[in-house]
């Protein structure tokens, strides 16, 4: 699981990891440029607009800023390169492109399981762009299907599941609809919480592009409308489909899907820029492109700064916990309430090498709210185990609660010496029999007994 503390990894070579992430994102932006030109048929200026938008989309910050973010940008590179090679093969009939597509798809499968959606992508492309011809039209799909089936069988043998299908259910479908709406808002407007606005913008953009394409020649109209459908709802739907079986929500999950939105915006610029005999429309296209790029650039700066602050707070929290763990008696119970945006998914790894020099979890017992734990399905058992082990100690050593301000990193510390009521909370916590109630109780303990950082009790 990814940990936000990775961003403060005290390693001399950490800059190499970040450089690789930037390079991967730049390469994916170039692939978006190639898709816009080769597949969507956009002019070079329009394709550049689309590729630049993809490079600046605020939703992609996590994929670039986090060292672990490449678990989505790297698969997206091989996936997109494989599809582009396939599309070039369809256009040129050169077998080298087809073989390249197969090789790249094989690599994509073993970078992340989401590559199994490639079959849907190439079939949708062939159907929308009129590539399905002849009696043996389905034969090119056979190697892709065979590799996908082999990969899924391997996963089943290793992990007992094909695609985490045990997590599927009605509740998961409902949550998938909600997260898809949040993801769309994050891609289109740069932040969650604007779902209705994002849907409206997306629909208006797609309809405008569809109608504008109607003014072109029949051949161009067919290609542009196919591009609207393919890089709009089809690419988006295929891109977010894997989140149905994802165990958590992250903007990284729509890294590939966001590429389609960037191409759609480039398509809109293309339609405005190339209006015949109406030079005024080029100025409209320039103003519109400048406005969109400026909005995304401003929001990108905000998100990058927020990420920088979260990383700084994360680094301070690691240092504070280390100092506390080394100073406290062996076996002390630490209740750690770091800011979610800095330490989501971080524990217990943030307290183990390489993030700290020694394994602090061997010196102290550490519990936290569930959102800070790496593996939420196991959080309840893990936390109850920590409470049970601490209670079994002879004399039950001290309890310390740590809480940080999410913006400044200011620390508030309370121990059972200042708040004797802390010792009475452990039996209560141990008696709780569900993950939700235990999580709520841990949060209440922190909120009620520990003053907000920077404030007096």
Q: What does the pLDDT look like over 52-83, one tens digit per residue? A: 999 999 999 999 988 888 899 999 999 999 99
Please name the residues in contact with 395: beta carbons below 8 A apart, sequence gap of 6 or more: none
R_g over Cα of the chain: 26
CA 288, chain centre distance (Å): 28
67 upstream amide cis, omega within 30 of 0: no
Q: What does the pLDDT look like over 331-374, one tens digit per residue? A: 999 999 999 989 988 899 888 888 888 899 999 999 999 999 98
For residue 420, give the H/E element and its range. none
At residue 99, the pLDDT reads: 97
At residue 457, the pLDDT reads: 43
Domain ranges of the chain: 13-274, 320-449
At residue 212, the pLDDT reads: 80
What is the percent of the chain where pLDDT is above 70? 92
Residue 116 near residue 151, CB atoms below 8 Å: yes
Tell me the pTM: 0.85
Structure tokens at 324: 């506390």
In degrees rounded to 5, what are phi and psi of residue 400?
-135, 135
Q: What does the pLDDT look like over 336-348, one tens digit per residue? A: 999 998 998 889 9
DSSP string, 232-261: IIIHHHHHHGGGGG-SS--GGGGHHHHHHH
């Amino acid at each position: 699981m990814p940990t936000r503390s990775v961003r403060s990894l005290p390693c001399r070579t950490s800059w190499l990891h970040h450089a690789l992430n930037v390079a991967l994102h730049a390469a994916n932006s170039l692939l978006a440029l190639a898709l816009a030109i080769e597949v969507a048929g956009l002019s070079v200026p329009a394709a550049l607009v689309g590729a630049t938008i993809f490079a600046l989309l605020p939703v992609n910050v996590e994929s670039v800023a986090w060292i672990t973010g490449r678990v989505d940008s790297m698969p997206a590179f091989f996936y997109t390169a494989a599809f582009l090679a396939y599309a070039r093969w369809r256009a040129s009939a050169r077998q080298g492109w087809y073989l390249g597509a197969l090789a790249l798809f094989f690599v994509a499968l073993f970078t992340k399981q989401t590559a199994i959606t490639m079959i849907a992508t190439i079939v949708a492309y062939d159907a929308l762009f009129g590539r399905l011809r002849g009696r043996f039209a389905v034969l090119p799909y056979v190697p892709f299907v065979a590799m996908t089936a082999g990969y899924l069988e391997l996963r089943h043998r290793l992990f007992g599941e094909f695609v985490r299908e045990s997590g599927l259910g009605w509740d998961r479908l409902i949550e998938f609809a909600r997260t898809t709406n949040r993801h769309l808002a994050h891609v289109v407007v740069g932040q969650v919480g604007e779902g209705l606005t994002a849907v409206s913008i997306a629909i208006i953009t797609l309809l405008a592009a569809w109608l504008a394409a109607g003014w072109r020649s029949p051949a161009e109209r067919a290609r542009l409308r196919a591009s609207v459908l393919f890089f709009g709802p089809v690419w988006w739907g295929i891109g977010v489909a894997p989140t149905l079986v994802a165990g958590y929500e992250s903007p990284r999950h729509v890294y590939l899907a966001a590429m389609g939105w960037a191409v759609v915006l480039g398509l809109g610029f293309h339609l405005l820029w190339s209006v015949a005999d109406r030079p005024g429309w080029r100025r409209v296209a320039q103003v519109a492109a400048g406005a969109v790029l400026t909005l995304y650039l401003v929001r990108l700066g905000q998100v990058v700064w927020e990420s920088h602050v979260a990383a700084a707070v994360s680094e301070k929290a690691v240092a504070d916990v280390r100092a506390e763990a080394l100073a406290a008696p062996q076996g002390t119970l630490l209740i750690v309430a770091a800011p979610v945006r800095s330490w989501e998914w971080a524990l217990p790894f943030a307290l183990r090498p390489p993030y700290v020099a020694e394994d602090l979890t061997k010196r102290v017992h550490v519990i936290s709210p569930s959102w800070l734990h790496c593996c939420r399905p196991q959080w309840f058992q893990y936390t109850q185990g920590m409470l049970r082990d601490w209670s079994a100690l002879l004399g039950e050593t001290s309890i310390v609660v740590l809480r940080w301000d999410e913006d400044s990193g200011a620390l508030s510390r309370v121990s059972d010496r200042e708040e004797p009521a802390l010792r009475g909370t452990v039996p209560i916590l141990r008696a709780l029999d569900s993950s939700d109630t235990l999580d709520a109780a841990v949060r209440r303990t922190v909120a009620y007994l520990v003053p907000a950082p920077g404030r007096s009790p």
